[in-house]
Amino acid sequence: MADLTPLLAFRWSPRSFDPEAELTRAEAATLLEAARWAPSVGNRQPWRFALGHRDDETFKRIVVNLPPAEQRWASRASVLVLAAHPRGGHPFAAYDLGQAVAHLTVQATALGLHVRQLTDLDRAGLTADLDLPGNLRPYVVVAVGQLGDPLSLPADLLAEETALRHRRPLGELVLNCENAIG
Ligand SMILES: Cc1cc2nc3c(=O)[nH]c(=O)nc-3n(C[C@H](O)[C@H](O)[C@H](O)COP(=O)(O)O)c2cc1C
């Protein structure tokens, strides 16, 4: 961790978003611009986004299609971004979309923002409520905002918020660890 660029070392996924903080339109555009410049197979750019600012119509339509337990924290984010990719398209579309969201996440970190993603979505509800083209698959919702007070979270979420973060050691992840990195 110590050798990582601070943009990666300090990134983490909170739930304690500041419910008063707002993103400017320019900040929102910068996040989407970062996603736009992600690499993709054959430069297909199979990502589509709908971004809602807290309390606007798009935000409300995204929130209601999240599980109630997730709404507790996601509704505090400054923006919610629905990220989608074409159905039945290129087999790497979801991979490309994930990479675009990763770029968005790094850009958000550079702006002093935090990101937490969700995949437990009412996809049919999102398609209907956001009037998405039928050929798009809602894939993930990306909550972005400023860090708020963790003590304002419900007790169960506070425990998770303050728990130590873990990762598998490289020796478990790198198949030829000994040769590759010693
Ligand atoms: C694709 C994806 C889906 C996720 N879905 C959820 C979710 O439904 N609910 C949630 O609270 N966190 C969700 N997360 C957040 C992860 O739990 C979190 O990234 C992971 O625990 C690692 O923590 P870190 O991001 O702080 O390093 C999701 C993350 C990703 C990348």
Please choose, from the candidates 85, 96, 61, the residue with its C-alpha nearest in 3D space to the C-alpha of residue 133: 85
- Would you state the structure tokens that stand for residue 26, as one six-digit string? 């320019």
- Give pLDDT tens digits along the chain (182 positions): 669 999 999 999 999 999 999 999 999 999 999 999 999 999 999 999 999 999 999 999 999 999 999 999 999 999 999 999 999 878 999 999 999 999 999 999 999 999 999 999 999 999 999 999 999 999 999 999 999 999 999 999 999 999 999 999 999 999 999 999 98
Is-contact 141 80, C-beta < 8 A? yes
Residue ranges per domain, the chain? 16-147
Q: What is the DSSP letter of 17?
A: B
Which of the following CATH numbers is that of domain 16-147: 3.30.1280.10, 3.40.109.10, 3.40.30.10, 3.90.79.10? 3.40.109.10
> Can you tell me whether residue 63 is helix, strand or coil?
helix
pTM of the entire predicted model? 0.97
Residues with CB under 6 A from ligand 1: 12-13, 70, 116-120, 140, 165
Mutate which of 7, 11, 13 to test ligand 1's pocket (most atoms within 8 Å of Cβ)? 13
Atom of ligand 1 nearest to the CA of 12: 26
Q: Ligand 1, closest atom to CA 67?
A: 8
Distances in Å between the alpha carbon of 114 and those of 100, 105, 169? Answer: 16, 8, 25
119 Rama class: left (phi>0) / alpha (psi -120 to 50) / beta: alpha
